[in-house]
Structure 1
Amino acid sequence: MSADLGTRPRHYARQIVALRSKEERRAALENVPAEWRDLVRTHVEIAWNHQKGGKA
């Protein structure tokens, strides 16, 4: 995952949600810039819960 200037928190989240394994998702989250990591984690959790039909 590259940290180019055009990548925004939701883009990172979309890329992470598309990964197959939990280990891949955790590793990808570690590559997110530190200042966005919490926000991206929140986006991923919301997307994950939405896909499962659950509530955040």
Structure 2
Amino acid sequence: IDRHYRLHINNFVQGNRHIHNNLKYSLSQVEVKKDDESHCLSTQSNQSTGKNDNH
């Protein structure tokens, strides 16, 4: 019974870690989107001054 219980806890911890990784991934995706938006804004403002630093 003890071994079975420990196996259960291991599965639970691994499942939680998987969920946590997914959360971190989606959060980083949101950060990337924010960066993209600000980058688009900065390139637009740069074009108005005739200077464009696209990378």
| TM norm structure 2 | 0.36
Q: Which of the pair has more CA radius of gyration?
A: 2
| More helix per residue | 2
Return the structure number with greater relative CO, CA threshold 8 A, min gap 6: 1
| TM norm structure 1 | 0.35
